[in-house]
Amino acid sequence: MLPQAAHAVNPWVALAYLAAGVCFIFALRGLSSPATSRKGNRYGMAGMLIAVVTTLVTHDIASLLEIVIAIAIGGGIGFVIARKIAMTDMPQLVAAFHSLVGMAAVLVGWAAYLNPAAFDILIDGVISPVSRVEMGLGIAIGAITFSGSVIAFLKLAGKMSGAPIMLPGRHVINLGTLAAILALTVYFTADQSIWIIAVITVLAFVIGFLLIIPIGGADMPVVVSMLNSYSGWAAAAMGFTLHNTAMIITGALVGASGAILSYIMCRAMNRSFVSVIAGGFGADGGGDAGDGAAKVDRPWKRGSAEDAAFLMKEAGQVIIIPGYGMAVAQAQHVLREMGDLLKEAGVTVKYAIHPVAGRMPGHMNVLLAEANVPYDEVFELEDINGEFSQTDVAFVIGANDVVNPAARTDKSSPIYGMPVFDVEKAKTIFFIKRSMGGVGYSGVDNDVFYMDQTMMLLSDAKKMVEQINKALAE
């Protein structure tokens, strides 16, 4: 027999699950800020430990040894991956973890269907209608999470193009597939034939692919937070099937927080969540990173590491704007060294972080925290945007769309309406990018490249900052 809900009448078990839930709430609170993120992680680990131990102690386990071995294997794999993974690969790692949560929900749902007696969901020899709804929704959400996360992983890891892939009639196909899943779930309450749950599973896998394929690389932060929300709701649905309070609480917290985060990310791009899911950021002609090209051959000025070092050392304030190019080049450590050298010279250094910079929510914050950049030097867009007009140097490293004034001036631009940094108001702009050919994930040319106060530093971000550091030290 699989676990039974023997804890239902035990108040101590309810208290333990409540304590786990409180830990998870503190974890979410801690993770809301880079300064408290480590403490938040510890709360999350403590809450999960309480929940797992409580479940194992209070349930009749068929083979405790098998479960311990499974935990040891999974924990060992997770430990090795966490030790080896580079911070720049965190977005695809998060997507991969979401896919595992989704597949776990699918497998639990199928296990409950194939052996309902073990889950105590039988009424008069058939699965209860309520359990069938929970099962159908859990499997559907889990399958969508799995297949969507696989596509997100492939896009983030560069295994497939990050450009939106537009299928003809995709909106009709998506709506029709979702309607079919809901209709079959309702029908499943009256008929528990295996073909119904099998079709729900297949359709859910398909719609997961279809929902994520049209989304471009610049919308990946929203996709990651959205998939995080899906994984939470899948876990909550399976919690009802398993009669496990901890899973319900945890899943609901993850689902709700992911949904709120998705809303915040969409608001940061000044677009609706539905528009992101329906079309993606660069849906009307955007391209993958490096695939676009400058639309007009315009004059621009090339700078050098020595130019940047001299002007920044003479500046009163330097604002650094990091983007995904910094992550790809793994330049966060040398960038922090540059900031330290400038501060030693009496320069005020600040870091400006856009909410959608990178490939997952908080990507730039994570990288700067890894490089031990002081938290009090890191500012969000609304807190620092007013300072560019009084700033001597804006130092853009690997960012493009988040500093593109077309978001304010060009109504035909796919990024129109997205709040961006006012870097063009700074006295001098240094812009690090690999070449003048690439124009970012949105595929939009950037007027900042050609401004009189802009100097283009064409190079790998890490190599260029290393040269600047050398010039500063000399």
Annotated catalytic residues are: 401
Three-state SS letters, 322-359: ECHHHHHHCCHHHHHHHHHHHHHCCCEEEEEECCCCCC
Q: What is the DSSP letter of 398?
A: S
Q: What is the rounded distance in angstroms from the CA atom of residue 385 to the CA atom of residue 353?
A: 10
Pick from 58, 117, 74, 19: nearest CA to 244:
58
* Per-residue b or e along 180-195, where b marks 16 or more CB atoms closer than 10 Å to that residue's CB: ebeebbeebbeebeee
Q: Tokens in use for 66? A: 């098998």
Neighbours of 162 (CB within 10 A): 25
The dihedral through the CA atoms of 203, 204, 209, 210 has a sign that is: positive
Position of tokens 């304030």?
A: 317
Sign of CA dihedral 57, 61, 63, 66: negative
User: How far lies 420's CA from each of 174, 285, 438, in Å?
Assistant: 32, 20, 19
